[in-house]
Chain A
Amino acid sequence: MAIVVKLDDLLHARRMTLTDLSDRIGITLANLSILKTGKAKAMRFSTLEAICIELECQPGDLLAFEADS
């Protein structure tokens, strides 16, 4: 997939686990795991907003576009 989710990098930089993030933003661990592993097909603005608020980042810090080779 051309859109890469950099949630793992952001969590690592903030010394935070996926479980911590799940507890703080109220999105299930299963859904966050789908997002982290790049298996998600779509993302709600509300999810993006919650992650950006919690991790104090911009959407561009979380998502990147990498052209398929």
Chain B
Amino acid sequence: MPTDHSTLLGITRGLLWLMLALVAATFLFVVASGGALVTMWPDIAAEAKNSEIFLDVDAMRPQLFALLAILAAILLAAVYIIRQLQTLVASAASDPFIHGNAARLRRIGWALVATQLLAFPLGWMARSVAVSTSQFADMGGLNLQGILAILLAFVLAAVFERGAAMRDELEGTV
């Protein structure tokens, strides 16, 4: 029995826009932080020394730049994933089983792979600048949920590819 998913799709669309706004705001914050590292380094260094979170404050500026660059790359990947999901959800209201959606899910899968790969240097970089007991040193690294999301995206891409092929066959049936 067909079910009306319009409410669910509407909520999903709203949540995706909210996530996009949050990711965009975080990206702007990361860029602003990069700018602050250039212009306000003496103040930041003094604050970092007081916090007792960082190992070697005087030598950590390049690592912080690298950390912010990796974070920015991850956030851009997140924007790409959300945009792809928005297109996918938009097509779900009419005809989701098209080859374009299979390709979209594969691209999401690869973007998730890139995100997961970037999380390793991010974690390594965070642990190299902060004391191991701090929350700062906890970021990045291997994420099982991320790996599951990658597998799910590629499996769903295969399902959509098959669905699109079946749809093609059905359309050619008289």
Interface residues of chain A, those whose CB is within 8 Å of chain B, are: 27, 31-32, 34-35, 39-44, 47
Contact = CB atoms under 8 A, between A and B. Distances in A.
B174 interface: yes
Interface of B: 168-169, 172-174
Contacts of B168: 41
B37 to A, nearest CB: 61
B168, B173, B174: residue with the most chain A Cβ atoms closer than 10 Å: B174
Nearest to A41: B172
A11 B31 CA distance: 72
A43 B172 CA distance: 8
23 contacts: A27-B174, A31-B174, A32-B174, A34-B172, A34-B174, A35-B174, A39-B172, A40-B172, A40-B173, A40-B174, A41-B168, A41-B169, A41-B172, A41-B173, A42-B169, A42-B172, A42-B173, A42-B174, A43-B173, A43-B174, A44-B173, A44-B174, A47-B174
A41 B169 CA distance: 7
The 4 closest A-B pairs by CB, nearest first: A41-B172, A42-B173, A40-B174, A35-B174
